[in-house]
């Protein structure tokens, strides 16, 4: 492991705002986010596959009346957002290191108000369809985590993945679906507060348009 990576792994070991295997809260956090971490009953917003956590940190700064949790399996990426949240004194942002498909171990039914999926790995239709974060098996998990009025947001540069996601969501059953295939030229861009993730910046510079959708699950 490189020196930078090992420093970051040490940081997330020590940072109070990272929950990961081996720390006491990891085993008991399900249903206890408000009491144990945030110390308030405010709505919980989760960013899945958060990478360096641009949305988690950016939204936490803009919305102190909500609580934000960035989830990713890669500790060195989470370390970046975790350090920024600490440096900026954000008490309403934290990070959970785990696999998205294990989220049910960490959230009760209806515990979450919003989910953001930001630039997920698109995975190929042939070999990786079940690993797509908008595959039906993931949607089942999100539907349980979200409260009945909860919102799902998806942002991606990958149009085939976006088309797949629209189709999967429509077949699964959603309400109030809004979407655009060119976010920056859309009035929906107002909902993004100028926050760009690392992958968003990379793909925008390559000339890709940004696809965005939001919806609620049918109950
Ligand atoms: C393409 S990157 C996007 C990162 C960030 N959201 C951005 O837009 O810059 C995808 C991220 O999802 C994470 N990831 C992929 N599959 C995951 C899974 N099943 N559980 C947890 N994290 C996952 C990866 O570790 C990676 O950080």
CB 9 within 8 A of CB 64: no
> What pLDDT sits at residue 1?
79
CA 213 to chain centre: 14
Q: What are phi and psi of 126, to 5 degrees?
A: -70, -55
**Residue 121 annotated to the active site:** yes
78 Cβ closer than 6 Å to some ligand 1 atom: no
Q: Describe the strand order of the beta sheet including 67-72 as a list of residue ranges.
A: 18-19, 93-97, 67-72, 44-48, 112-118, 146-156, 211-217, 174-180
- Ligand 1 atom closest to residue 49's alpha carbon, by position in its atom list: 12
pLDDT of 205 over the 90 cut: yes
What digits encode the pLDDT tens for the residues 66-77? 999 999 999 999
Q: Are strands 18-19 and 211-217 parallel, antiparallel or unpaired?
A: unpaired
Average the pLDDT over 33-48 and give the result.
98
* Cβ partners under 8 Å of residue 211, min gap 6: 154, 155, 156, 157, 158, 159, 162, 179, 180, 181, 183
pLDDT attached to residue 126: 84
User: Given the CA of residue 55, which atom of ligand 1 is nearest to it?
Assistant: 6
The residue nearest atom 15 of ligand 1, judged by CA position, is: 49
pLDDT given for residue 193 in this prediction: 95
Residue 74 CB less than 6 A away from ligand 1? yes
Indicate whether 204 pLDDT > 90: yes
What are the residues whose beta carbons fall under 8 Å from the beta carbon of 17, sequence distance 6 or more? 82, 85, 86, 93, 94, 95
What is the spatial distance between Cα 166 and Cα 172, in angstroms, rounded to a whole number?
A: 10
Cα–Cα separations (whole angstroms), residue 3 to 6, 7, 15, 76, 115: 5, 6, 18, 11, 33
**Is the shortest distance between the CB of 121 and ligand 1 below 6 Å?**
yes
Query: For residue 63, how far is its CA from the centre of ligand 1 (angstroms)?
Result: 23
Residue-level pLDDT at 125: 85
High-pLDDT (> 70) share of the chain, %: 100
Residue range 48-77: mean pLDDT, rounded: 98
pLDDT at 196: 96
What does the domain layout of the chain look like in residue ranges?
3-217
Q: What pLDDT digit, counting tens, does each position of 156-203 carry?
A: 999 999 999 999 999 999 999 999 999 999 999 999 999 999 999 999
Which whole number is the average pLDDT over 20-27? 97
**217 CB within 6 A, ligand 1:** no
Q: What percent of the chain has pLDDT over 90?
A: 98
Residue range 71-95: mean pLDDT, rounded: 98
Name residue 195's beta-bridge partners: none
Q: Which numeric CATH code is attached to 3-217?
A: 3.40.50.150
pTM above 0.85, yes or no: yes
How confident is the model over 43-63, as a mean pLDDT?
A: 98
In this model, does residue 127 exceed pLDDT 90?
no
Mean pLDDT score of the chain: 97
């Amino acid at each position: 492991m490189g020196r930078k990576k090992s420093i970051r792994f040490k940081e997330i070991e020590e940072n109070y705002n990272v929950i990961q295997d081996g720390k006491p809260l990891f085993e008991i956090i399900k249903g206890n986010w408000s009491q144990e971490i945030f110390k308030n009953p405010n709505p919980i917003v989760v960013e899945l596959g958060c990478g360096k956590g641009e949305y988690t940190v950016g939204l936490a700064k803009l919305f102190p009346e909500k609580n934000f949790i960035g989830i990713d399996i890669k500790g060195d990426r989470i370390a970046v957002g975790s350090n920024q949240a600490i440096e900026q004194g954000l008490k309403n942002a934290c990070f959970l290191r785990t696999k998205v498909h294990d989220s049910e171990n960490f959230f009760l039914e209806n515990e979450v108000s919003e989910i953001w999926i930001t630039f997920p790995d698109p995975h190929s239709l042939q070999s990786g369809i079940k690993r797509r974060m908008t595959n039906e098996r993931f949607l089942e998990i999100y539907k349980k985590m979200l409260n009945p009025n909860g919102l799902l947001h998806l942002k991606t540069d990958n149009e085939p993945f976006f088309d797949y996601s629209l189709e999967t969501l429509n077949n699964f059953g959603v309400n109030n679906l809004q979407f655009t295939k060119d976010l920056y030229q859309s009035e929906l861009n107002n909902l993004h507060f100028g926050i760009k993730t690392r992958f968003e910046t990379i793909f925008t510079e390559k000339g890709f348009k940004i696809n965005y959708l939001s919806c609620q699950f049918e109950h």
